[in-house]
Structure 1
Amino acid sequence: MYQFERVKKSAMMKSFIKGMLFLFPSILLFSVFVFYPMFKTIYLSFYLTDAKGSTTVFVGLENYLNMFTNPIFLQSIKNTLLFVFYTVPPTVLISLFLAILANENLRGIGLFRTIYSSTIGISVAAASVWLYLFNPTMGLLNKFLEAFGGEPVGWLTDPAWALLSVSVTTIWMNIGFTFLILLGGLQSIDRSLYESAEVEGSGYFYKLRRITIPMLSPTLFFVITVSMINSFQTFGQIDILTQGGPANETSLIVYSIYREAFVNYQFGSASAQAVVLFILILVMTVIQFKLGERRVHYQ
């Protein structure tokens, strides 16, 4: 019996070592690019730093206290929440509408699928195209307004329009990815469900409400969660289009972190903001799982 236990423990140890060897590359990459930066950020958030990023004075929670009394940072939190609200629902709804259209068995639908998904291959630098569209004097949008007797709008210079304008650009950039994921989810739905509904005489919208949306709910849950996290982490189009202006109306949390770290060289307070952003994303994701997963129907 004792010999059997020794052989069993030896086999388990060999399996454990073999498993760890397979996991070692992933553990190494995560340690270098995820765990070390995360713990380093938390460590720096309790210190003042010099221009090189070296710690100078331990200040404890002072960076956090100063952050929540800073009106610019508080505004960036408000802007970020508004930006998530402006971008996530429209992106998902437009992509869902396009995916349902592209899922129909029509002639030439492959061309439309390619057009709808084309933005997935475009980098964030493509946001510079919108600089010309939003230009107050020669931009196409204002030319269109003037053609119908409207007044020119300062799309990126007017505080009332700037965040909405950046949101429109972000929606355009994100539709391709969301569309492809939703289209894949639609095509994975069992066709026999639709055939059974047709035999019973069900109409198109009944099938959409009772079959398509419930069966697509796991995919919808995924794209909503990913889109929300991506919106919280938006940086590129803000830097290209507005640099956080006008009057900090488009300064999101990530751009505030960038400006604090690489413009003001205050790496301690920037790290504190990064920790707050991580907690905010974590809380919103947990809420999303608590509320959203109840309505997910798995096949």
Structure 2
Amino acid sequence: MSKEVASGMSGDFRTLRISSLDEEEENEVKVDDDCDEDDEEDNDDEEQVPVTLGFLEKPKNWWSLLRQLFPSKAGGVPAWLDPINLPSGRSCVCDFCGEPLQFLLQVYAPLSEKESTFHRTLFVFMCRSMSCLLQDQHEQWKHQEEKASRSVKVFRCQLARSNPFYSSEPPRHDGTDKPSGIEAALCNWCGTWKGDKVCSSCRRARYCLEKHQSMHWRSGHKIDCQQLSIPPQSSDSSPGNIASKTLWTQYEIINEDECEFDTEMSEDHEYANALVSGNRMDDTFKSLLDNFEVWIAKPMILELYLSA
């Protein structure tokens, strides 16, 4: 590594300069000029690929993250694009520990070139266990042909402009937009996955797994269950009624083109728009930073789906 690189890593990254190989090695083997020209053309093509940056902000209005507004969001519960046909079975759980995956974020990424992708959202889920994330990384190193186990999963959902769930007209974004009344009943504990199991006593509460039913029972449903008399079809699993207290804080993802982003923003403004503010750097986040190299490869899955 050259002195310029070493000094740049210890100081301001804006002053970082990587010296050419000619400066590093005097006896370098020469490469054909044609190859160099091809490489330059490839680099030019790569530079033209647009990049969108996402910043987490508290939503200005509670309704802005509802599914009929096609939000990009992080934390909380997913705003399913297709509220009926949800992932099920083994797709919903970590392949290592068998626990239900927790919602991390979703990105609204429509493709206008095709009618079938007029609406298109990518959903990212992950296991809360760092042990499972480590095992996932080791699985990726194996390069095995059979289906590998995963603790981070990405789902893609897309709809045509004319569909049973939303108006073909753009949303008004004034709080009056309404989706169709058709939607699957979700788990009352996690608010994420389809609630196929029903409480045998009140016949109202629904769950995706028996474990979530047990956790809800111990957290207070044992008492509430005796007081419920609402028919089972009116099960309420809206975000405000989710029993679990372990969901990540909900934020709206604000998109901005990289070319328009001010790279010379002040340090204070930069921290104000960071994914996690400096004064909220708790032990859990520090632990994630320590293991960041382990699961930083996961967002690459998104790139595959974005180009699909």
Q: What TM-score range do you get, normalising by the shorter chain?
A: under 0.3
**Rg larger in structure:** 1
Higher RCO (C-alpha under 8 Å, 6+ residues apart): 1
Q: Larger strand proportion, structure 1 or 2?
A: 2
- TM-score, normalised relative to structure 1: 0.27
Q: Larger helix proportion, structure 1 or 2?
A: 1
- TM-score, normalised relative to structure 2: 0.26
